[in-house]
Amino acid sequence: MSLNIELLKKTCEIAGVPGYEERIRNLVIREVEPLVDSLEVDNMGSVIALKKGSNNPDGKRVMVAAHMDEIGFIVTHIDDNGFLRFHTLGGFDPKTLTAQRVVVHGKKDLVGVMGSKPIHVMTAEERTKNPKITDYFIDLGMKGEEVKEIVRIGDVVTRERAMIEMGNCVNCKSIDNRVSVFILIETLRRLEKVPYDVYGVFTVQEEVGLRGANVAAHSINPDFGIGLDTTIAFDLPGAQPHEKITSLGEGTAIKVMDASAICDYRMVDFMKKMADQHQIKWQLEVLTAGGTDTAGVQRMGKQGAIAGAISVPTRHLHQVIEMADKDDIESSIRLLEACLENMDQYDWMHW
Ligand SMILES: [Zn+2]
Protein backbone atom coordinates (compact mmCIF):
# COMPACT_ATOMS: atom_id res chain seq x y z
CA MET A 1 0.00 0.00 0.00
CA SER A 2 1.44 3.44 -0.85
CA LEU A 3 1.36 6.25 1.70
CA ASN A 4 -0.92 9.24 1.33
CA ILE A 5 1.98 11.70 1.05
CA GLU A 6 -0.36 14.64 0.44
CA LEU A 7 -2.08 14.09 3.82
CA LEU A 8 1.25 13.51 5.59
CA LYS A 9 2.58 16.79 4.15
CA LYS A 10 -0.49 18.75 5.31
CA THR A 11 -0.36 17.12 8.74
CA CYS A 12 3.31 18.00 9.27
CA GLU A 13 3.22 21.54 7.90
CA ILE A 14 0.20 22.85 9.80
CA ALA A 15 0.89 24.90 12.97
CA GLY A 16 0.06 23.80 16.54
CA VAL A 17 2.27 24.52 19.56
CA PRO A 18 1.30 23.23 23.05
CA GLY A 19 -1.99 24.82 24.13
CA TYR A 20 -2.66 26.22 20.64
CA GLU A 21 -3.48 23.09 18.66
CA GLU A 22 -6.64 24.47 16.97
CA ARG A 23 -5.45 24.19 13.35
CA ILE A 24 -4.12 20.63 13.57
CA ARG A 25 -7.15 19.65 15.70
CA ASN A 26 -9.53 20.83 12.97
CA LEU A 27 -7.61 18.83 10.38
CA VAL A 28 -7.77 15.72 12.61
CA ILE A 29 -11.53 16.12 13.21
CA ARG A 30 -12.18 16.48 9.47
CA GLU A 31 -10.19 13.34 8.63
CA VAL A 32 -11.26 11.12 11.53
CA GLU A 33 -14.97 11.86 12.05
CA PRO A 34 -16.13 9.75 9.05
CA LEU A 35 -13.97 6.78 10.17
CA VAL A 36 -15.27 6.20 13.72
CA ASP A 37 -18.47 5.59 15.71
CA SER A 38 -18.16 8.78 17.77
CA LEU A 39 -15.80 11.68 18.27
CA GLU A 40 -15.49 14.28 21.01
CA VAL A 41 -13.07 16.99 22.08
CA ASP A 42 -12.32 17.11 25.82
CA ASN A 43 -11.99 20.35 27.81
CA MET A 44 -8.23 20.51 27.27
CA GLY A 45 -8.62 20.08 23.50
CA SER A 46 -7.60 16.47 22.92
CA VAL A 47 -9.63 14.68 20.23
CA ILE A 48 -11.09 11.36 21.42
CA ALA A 49 -12.34 9.10 18.61
CA LEU A 50 -14.11 5.85 19.47
CA LYS A 51 -14.38 2.73 17.32
CA LYS A 52 -16.61 0.21 19.08
CA GLY A 53 -15.47 -3.33 19.70
CA SER A 54 -17.35 -6.24 18.10
CA ASN A 55 -16.57 -8.94 20.70
CA ASN A 56 -16.49 -7.09 23.98
CA PRO A 57 -18.76 -8.45 26.74
CA ASP A 58 -16.37 -7.17 29.45
CA GLY A 59 -16.22 -3.65 27.99
CA LYS A 60 -12.42 -3.65 27.50
CA ARG A 61 -10.95 -0.34 26.41
CA VAL A 62 -7.77 0.30 24.40
CA MET A 63 -6.36 3.83 24.33
CA VAL A 64 -4.00 4.82 21.51
CA ALA A 65 -2.34 8.22 21.99
CA ALA A 66 -0.58 10.42 19.44
CA HIS A 67 0.26 13.99 20.43
CA MET A 68 -0.79 16.73 18.03
CA ASP A 69 1.37 19.54 19.44
CA GLU A 70 4.79 20.49 18.09
CA ILE A 71 7.66 22.32 19.81
CA GLY A 72 7.47 26.10 19.29
CA PHE A 73 7.75 29.49 20.94
CA ILE A 74 5.65 32.17 22.64
CA VAL A 75 6.28 35.94 22.37
CA THR A 76 7.38 37.52 25.67
CA HIS A 77 8.42 41.04 24.55
CA ILE A 78 8.23 43.36 21.54
CA ASP A 79 10.83 46.14 21.46
CA ASP A 80 10.37 49.59 19.91
CA ASN A 81 12.26 48.51 16.78
CA GLY A 82 9.87 45.58 16.26
CA PHE A 83 12.18 42.76 17.37
CA LEU A 84 10.54 39.96 19.36
CA ARG A 85 11.83 38.10 22.40
CA PHE A 86 10.33 34.69 23.15
CA HIS A 87 10.17 31.69 25.44
CA THR A 88 10.28 28.07 24.24
CA LEU A 89 7.38 25.62 24.44
CA GLY A 90 9.19 22.29 24.41
CA GLY A 91 12.86 21.35 24.24
CA PHE A 92 15.11 23.03 21.65
CA ASP A 93 18.83 22.72 20.99
CA PRO A 94 19.71 26.45 20.71
CA LYS A 95 22.36 25.99 18.00
CA THR A 96 19.75 24.62 15.60
CA LEU A 97 17.85 27.93 15.59
CA THR A 98 20.53 30.03 13.91
CA ALA A 99 19.20 31.72 10.75
CA GLN A 100 15.97 29.72 10.66
CA ARG A 101 12.67 31.05 9.34
CA VAL A 102 9.69 30.98 11.70
CA VAL A 103 6.01 31.94 11.45
CA VAL A 104 4.64 34.37 14.03
CA HIS A 105 0.91 33.79 14.52
CA GLY A 106 -0.35 37.32 15.23
CA LYS A 107 -3.58 38.84 13.91
CA LYS A 108 -2.22 37.32 10.72
CA ASP A 109 0.70 34.96 10.08
CA LEU A 110 4.02 36.74 9.56
CA VAL A 111 7.29 35.14 8.47
CA GLY A 112 10.22 36.02 10.72
CA VAL A 113 13.84 34.98 11.07
CA MET A 114 15.71 33.83 14.17
CA GLY A 115 18.40 36.48 14.46
CA SER A 116 21.60 36.44 16.53
CA LYS A 117 24.97 38.18 16.63
CA PRO A 118 26.95 37.77 13.36
CA ILE A 119 30.28 35.97 13.73
CA HIS A 120 32.11 39.04 12.35
CA VAL A 121 31.35 41.07 15.46
CA MET A 122 31.78 38.28 18.03
CA THR A 123 34.76 38.38 20.39
CA ALA A 124 37.23 35.48 20.25
CA GLU A 125 35.65 34.11 23.44
CA GLU A 126 32.08 34.41 22.11
CA ARG A 127 33.05 32.38 19.04
CA THR A 128 33.97 29.37 21.17
CA LYS A 129 30.68 29.30 23.10
CA ASN A 130 27.46 27.48 22.25
CA PRO A 131 24.54 29.88 21.75
CA LYS A 132 21.78 30.12 24.38
CA ILE A 133 18.06 30.47 23.62
CA THR A 134 18.20 34.00 25.09
CA ASP A 135 20.82 35.04 22.49
CA TYR A 136 18.12 34.95 19.81
CA PHE A 137 15.44 37.42 18.74
CA ILE A 138 12.87 37.28 15.94
CA ASP A 139 13.28 39.78 13.10
CA LEU A 140 10.10 40.42 11.10
CA GLY A 141 11.66 42.95 8.72
CA MET A 142 9.05 45.53 9.76
CA LYS A 143 9.02 48.78 11.73
CA GLY A 144 8.15 48.70 15.46
CA GLU A 145 4.72 50.39 15.07
CA GLU A 146 3.72 48.02 12.27
CA VAL A 147 4.73 44.95 14.28
CA LYS A 148 2.83 46.12 17.38
CA GLU A 149 -0.37 46.42 15.35
CA ILE A 150 -0.24 42.74 14.38
CA VAL A 151 1.69 40.94 17.14
CA ARG A 152 0.89 40.81 20.87
CA ILE A 153 2.63 39.34 23.91
CA GLY A 154 1.51 35.70 24.17
CA ASP A 155 1.23 35.11 20.42
CA VAL A 156 2.79 31.83 19.40
CA VAL A 157 5.51 31.04 16.88
CA THR A 158 6.24 27.89 14.86
CA ARG A 159 9.10 26.70 12.69
CA GLU A 160 8.64 27.34 8.96
CA ARG A 161 9.59 24.34 6.83
CA ALA A 162 7.81 22.55 4.00
CA MET A 163 7.86 18.76 3.71
CA ILE A 164 9.95 17.23 0.95
CA GLU A 165 10.74 13.67 -0.12
CA MET A 166 14.44 12.68 -0.11
CA GLY A 167 15.52 9.19 -1.11
CA ASN A 168 13.07 6.90 0.67
CA CYS A 169 12.53 9.52 3.39
CA VAL A 170 10.30 12.45 4.22
CA ASN A 171 11.85 15.57 5.73
CA CYS A 172 10.02 18.40 7.49
CA LYS A 173 9.56 20.26 10.75
CA SER A 174 7.28 18.44 13.22
CA ILE A 175 7.76 14.88 11.98
CA ASP A 176 7.66 14.66 15.82
CA ASN A 177 4.82 13.92 16.18
CA ARG A 178 2.66 14.58 13.14
CA VAL A 179 3.95 11.38 11.60
CA SER A 180 2.15 9.56 14.44
CA VAL A 181 -0.98 11.68 13.99
CA PHE A 182 -0.88 10.50 10.37
CA ILE A 183 -0.25 6.87 11.42
CA LEU A 184 -3.26 6.93 13.77
CA ILE A 185 -5.54 8.49 11.11
CA GLU A 186 -4.46 5.96 8.49
CA THR A 187 -4.85 3.05 10.92
CA LEU A 188 -8.39 4.15 11.80
CA ARG A 189 -9.07 4.25 8.03
CA ARG A 190 -7.77 0.69 7.49
CA LEU A 191 -9.20 -0.96 10.63
CA GLU A 192 -11.76 -3.65 10.00
CA LYS A 193 -13.34 -5.37 13.02
CA VAL A 194 -11.74 -4.66 16.39
CA PRO A 195 -12.59 -6.90 19.36
CA TYR A 196 -12.28 -4.23 22.07
CA ASP A 197 -13.35 -0.57 22.12
CA VAL A 198 -10.56 1.48 20.54
CA TYR A 199 -10.11 5.08 21.69
CA GLY A 200 -7.91 6.91 19.19
CA VAL A 201 -6.73 9.97 21.11
CA PHE A 202 -4.97 12.92 19.52
CA THR A 203 -3.49 14.60 22.59
CA VAL A 204 -2.48 18.17 23.42
CA GLN A 205 0.52 19.59 25.30
CA GLU A 206 2.77 16.51 25.23
CA GLU A 207 5.90 18.54 24.58
CA VAL A 208 5.50 20.39 27.88
CA GLY A 209 4.87 17.26 29.96
CA LEU A 210 2.25 14.77 28.68
CA ARG A 211 -0.53 17.00 29.99
CA GLY A 212 -3.33 16.13 27.54
CA ALA A 213 -2.63 12.38 27.66
CA ASN A 214 -2.82 12.36 31.46
CA VAL A 215 -6.29 13.92 31.44
CA ALA A 216 -7.62 11.76 28.59
CA ALA A 217 -6.36 8.54 30.20
CA HIS A 218 -7.96 9.55 33.49
CA SER A 219 -11.33 9.93 31.77
CA ILE A 220 -11.11 6.89 29.43
CA ASN A 221 -9.69 4.60 32.15
CA PRO A 222 -8.14 2.18 29.63
CA ASP A 223 -7.28 -1.50 30.16
CA PHE A 224 -4.66 -1.39 27.40
CA GLY A 225 -2.57 1.46 26.06
CA ILE A 226 -0.41 2.14 23.04
CA GLY A 227 1.64 5.34 22.73
CA LEU A 228 2.66 6.56 19.28
CA ASP A 229 5.63 8.86 18.93
CA THR A 230 8.96 9.38 17.22
CA THR A 231 12.23 8.17 18.70
CA ILE A 232 15.92 8.90 18.23
CA ALA A 233 17.66 7.40 15.20
CA PHE A 234 21.31 8.28 15.79
CA ASP A 235 22.49 6.02 12.96
CA LEU A 236 24.85 8.75 11.83
CA PRO A 237 28.56 9.51 11.41
CA GLY A 238 30.32 9.60 14.77
CA ALA A 239 27.77 7.39 16.53
CA GLN A 240 29.04 4.25 18.24
CA PRO A 241 26.93 1.13 17.58
CA HIS A 242 25.58 1.22 21.15
CA GLU A 243 24.45 4.85 20.80
CA LYS A 244 22.14 4.49 17.79
CA ILE A 245 18.91 3.67 19.67
CA THR A 246 17.23 2.94 16.30
CA SER A 247 18.12 3.08 12.60
CA LEU A 248 16.13 4.46 9.68
CA GLY A 249 14.74 1.84 7.32
CA GLU A 250 15.15 -1.01 9.82
CA GLY A 251 11.42 -1.12 10.59
CA THR A 252 8.94 0.20 13.11
CA ALA A 253 10.34 0.39 16.66
CA ILE A 254 8.74 -1.56 19.50
CA LYS A 255 9.48 0.42 22.66
CA VAL A 256 10.89 -1.44 25.66
CA MET A 257 11.24 1.69 27.77
CA ASP A 258 11.92 5.41 27.83
CA ALA A 259 12.62 7.73 30.75
CA SER A 260 8.89 8.09 31.50
CA ALA A 261 7.64 4.50 31.19
CA ILE A 262 8.75 0.89 31.34
CA CYS A 263 6.54 -0.85 28.83
CA ASP A 264 4.62 -3.90 30.05
CA TYR A 265 6.59 -6.97 28.95
CA ARG A 266 3.34 -8.64 27.85
CA MET A 267 2.61 -5.75 25.47
CA VAL A 268 6.19 -5.86 24.15
CA ASP A 269 5.83 -9.63 23.59
CA PHE A 270 2.40 -9.21 21.93
CA MET A 271 3.77 -6.55 19.56
CA LYS A 272 6.74 -8.73 18.55
CA LYS A 273 4.40 -11.67 17.88
CA MET A 274 2.02 -9.51 15.82
CA ALA A 275 4.91 -8.10 13.78
CA ASP A 276 6.32 -11.56 13.06
CA GLN A 277 2.92 -13.05 12.20
CA HIS A 278 2.22 -10.26 9.73
CA GLN A 279 5.76 -10.09 8.26
CA ILE A 280 6.26 -6.54 9.50
CA LYS A 281 9.87 -5.32 9.83
CA TRP A 282 10.61 -4.23 13.41
CA GLN A 283 13.42 -3.24 15.76
CA LEU A 284 13.55 -2.72 19.51
CA GLU A 285 13.91 0.66 21.19
CA VAL A 286 15.43 1.30 24.62
CA LEU A 287 15.57 5.05 25.20
CA THR A 288 17.08 6.15 28.49
CA ALA A 289 16.05 9.81 28.16
CA GLY A 290 12.86 11.54 27.05
CA GLY A 291 9.22 10.83 27.84
CA THR A 292 6.11 10.04 25.81
CA ASP A 293 2.33 9.89 26.28
CA THR A 294 2.84 6.17 27.00
CA ALA A 295 3.43 7.16 30.63
CA GLY A 296 0.08 8.94 30.93
CA VAL A 297 -1.77 6.12 29.20
CA GLN A 298 -0.14 3.54 31.47
CA ARG A 299 -0.68 5.26 34.80
CA MET A 300 -3.60 7.70 34.79
CA GLY A 301 -6.47 5.19 34.60
CA LYS A 302 -7.87 3.84 37.87
CA GLN A 303 -6.02 0.53 37.80
CA GLY A 304 -3.27 1.35 35.34
CA ALA A 305 -3.12 -0.08 31.83
CA ILE A 306 -1.12 -2.82 30.12
CA ALA A 307 0.81 -0.35 27.99
CA GLY A 308 3.49 -0.18 25.35
CA ALA A 309 4.43 2.01 22.42
CA ILE A 310 5.18 2.02 18.72
CA SER A 311 7.90 4.50 17.72
CA VAL A 312 8.97 5.92 14.38
CA PRO A 313 12.78 6.11 14.05
CA THR A 314 13.58 9.77 13.33
CA ARG A 315 16.86 11.53 12.56
CA HIS A 316 17.59 15.15 13.56
CA LEU A 317 14.84 15.13 16.22
CA HIS A 318 13.68 18.52 17.56
CA GLN A 319 15.41 20.36 14.70
CA VAL A 320 13.68 21.90 11.67
CA ILE A 321 14.65 19.03 9.36
CA GLU A 322 13.36 15.94 11.12
CA MET A 323 13.50 12.88 8.87
CA ALA A 324 11.77 9.48 8.80
CA ASP A 325 11.71 6.56 6.36
CA LYS A 326 8.50 5.89 4.42
CA ASP A 327 8.79 2.10 4.90
CA ASP A 328 9.10 2.53 8.68
CA ILE A 329 5.94 4.68 8.63
CA GLU A 330 4.05 2.00 6.68
CA SER A 331 5.35 -0.71 9.05
CA SER A 332 4.08 1.32 12.02
CA ILE A 333 0.58 1.57 10.51
CA ARG A 334 0.53 -2.16 9.81
CA LEU A 335 1.73 -3.08 13.32
CA LEU A 336 -0.82 -0.83 15.02
CA GLU A 337 -3.60 -2.27 12.85
CA ALA A 338 -2.53 -5.86 13.61
CA CYS A 339 -2.39 -5.14 17.36
CA LEU A 340 -5.83 -3.51 17.51
CA GLU A 341 -7.54 -6.19 15.41
CA ASN A 342 -6.07 -9.07 17.45
CA MET A 343 -6.05 -7.71 20.99
CA ASP A 344 -8.26 -10.61 22.20
CA GLN A 345 -5.82 -13.22 20.81
CA TYR A 346 -3.34 -13.00 23.70
CA ASP A 347 -3.33 -14.37 27.21
CA TRP A 348 -3.02 -11.07 29.08
CA MET A 349 -3.64 -12.67 32.44
CA HIS A 350 -0.43 -14.67 32.44
CA TRP A 351 2.27 -13.04 34.58
ZN1 LIG B 1 6.97 13.64 20.38
Q: How far apart are the CA of 278 and the centre of ligand 1, in A?
A: 27
Q: Is residue 44 a contact partner of residue 213, using CB atoms and an 8 Å limit?
A: no
Pairing of strands 61-67, 224-232: parallel
Q: Residue 121: its pLDDT value, please?
A: 84
Q: How far apart are the CA of 22 and the centre of ligand 1, in A?
A: 18
Q: Output DSSP code: residue 1.
A: -
Per the annotation, the verdict on 125 as an active-site residue is: no
Q: Residue 220: its pLDDT value, please?
A: 97
CA 169/CA 299 separation, integer angstroms: 34
Q: Residue 116: its pLDDT value, please?
A: 86
Instruction: Single out the catalytic residue among 31, 70, 206, 341.
Output: 206
Q: How far apart are the CA of 23 and the centre of ligand 1, in A?
A: 18
Q: How far apart are the CA of 25 and the centre of ligand 1, in A?
A: 16
Q: Residue 249: its pLDDT value, please?
A: 97
Q: Count CA within 13 A, CB hemisphere, residue 140.
A: 27
Closest CA to 312 of 330, 290, 298: 330
**Which of 148-153's residues contact partners 24+ apart within 8 Å by CB, and which partners?**
148/78, 148/82, 149/107, 150/106, 150/107, 150/108, 150/110, 151/75, 151/78, 151/84, 151/104, 151/106, 151/107, 151/110, 152/75, 152/78, 152/106, 153/75, 153/76, 153/77, 153/78
pTM greater than the 0.85 cutoff: yes
pLDDT profile of the chain (351 residues), mean per 10: 93 97 98 97 98 94 98 97 96 90 97 90 87 94 97 97 97 97 98 96 95 96 98 95 94 96 97 98 94 96 97 95 97 98 92 73
Q: Can you list the domains of the chain with their CATH numbers?
A: 5-70+173-345 (3.40.630.10), 86-159 (2.40.30.40)
Q: How far apart are the CA of 75 and the centre of ligand 1, in A?
A: 22
CB neighbours of 344 closer than 8 A, spacing ≥ 6?
A: 55, 195, 196
Q: How far apart are the CA of 54 and the centre of ligand 1, in A?
A: 31
CA 37/CA 35 separation, integer angstroms: 7
Q: Residue 68: its pLDDT value, please?
A: 98
138: helix, strand or coil: strand
